Structure 1
Amino acid sequence: MTPEELREHCLAKPGAWLDQPWDGDHVVKVGDKIFVFLGRDSVGLKCGATRVEADEWVLQYPDDASVMAYIGRSGWNTLRLNGAIPDEEIREAVDASYDTVVAKLPKSRRPTQG
C-alpha cells in the first residue's frame, strides 16, 4: 500500500479531514481528534484500548509494529507499510482506530454515516 492509498482510505471516512498540527507532520482527524498519524512509510494508529491489547500487534509483527513514542501507553502503535503486515490488516486497523475515536466523540459531534 502506498502512502497515497492509505491517505485516500483515511479521508474516505465520514467526517475525516487532513491536518498538519506540527510542521511536517500530517494527521487525519475526525471532529477535533486524531485517528491516524501519516508517515512516509508508516502509520500511527490507536491499536487497542490498552497497551496490552495494542501489544498483540508488536508480538505478531515485531519487525513492522512498534509502540508509538509519548502516546503508546494509551494503545497507539506505529505500523510499517509494505512490510509483513498485509495491506488489508492495515486498512482494518485504520477502520478500528477511526471507530474507536468516533465512539469517544460527543454524539452531537459524531459524523453521520453515509
Structure 2
Amino acid sequence: MRLTGVELLAHCLAKPGAWQDEPWEGDVVAKVGDKIFAFLGAGVSVGVKCGSNREEADELVETYPEDVTKSAYIGRSGWNTVRLGGTVPDGEILELVDTSYETIVAKLPKAKRP
C-alpha cells in the first residue's frame, strides 16, 4: 500500500503544535508556529526542507531523479518536492517530513516552540 495525501496530512498534523493552513487557494500546507514545514501538493507530492542549502538538498534529487525536484521559488534554500507513489519509499517520505518539521521548529523563537 502506498502513502496517500490524506495519510501524509494526518502525519503532519500529529506533530506537536502543527496546524493546517491554506495560504493560497487550493494549496494546503502544514505549519508549526507561523512557519510552513510541509507543502502538500494536492495529495500527489510534498514539499519539504531537505537541507540548509541547495547542495545538501541536491543529494536527494541525485538519489531519486525521477521523483524529487528542486522546489519552485524556495528551492535555493534547500526545499525539494517529493512525488508520492514513486521510487522514494513511504518510510523515507515520512522521515523527510519529520526532519523538515524538526528543522523548522529549531528556527522558531523558544517562546513559540511547541
TM-score (norm 2): 0.96
Q: Which stretches of structure 1, 4 residues or longer, exceed 3 Å deviation after superposition?
A: none
Aligned residue for 1:18? Answer: 20
- What letter matches 1:8 in structure 2? A
Matched ranges for 1:40-51 at <5 A: 40=42, 41-51=44-54
- What letter matches 1:97 in structure 2? S
- What letter matches 1:57 in structure 2? L
1:35-83 per-position Cα deviation (integer Å, ceiling 9, x unaligned): 0000120000001111000001100000000000000000000000010
Let me know the Cα RMSD of the aligned residues.
0.4
1:28 aligned counterpart, secondary structure: strand
Aligned residue for 2:33? Answer: 31
TM-score (norm 1): 0.96
Aligned residue for 1:100? Answer: 103
Q: In the aligned structure 2, how far is the partner of 1:84 from the partner of 1:25? A: 24
- What letter matches 2:34 in structure 1? D
Structure 2 stretches lacking a partner, 5+ long: none
**Matching of residue 109 in structure 1 with residue 87 in structure 2:** no
**Matching of residue 85 in structure 1 with residue 88 in structure 2:** yes
Aligned residue for 2:10? Answer: 8
Structure 1 stretches lacking a partner, 5+ long: none
2:87 aligned counterpart, secondary structure: coil
State the aligned residue count.
111
- Identity fraction in percent: 67
Q: Offset at 1:107?
A: 0.4
Q: In the aligned structure 1, how far is the partner of 2:77 from the partner of 2:61? A: 14
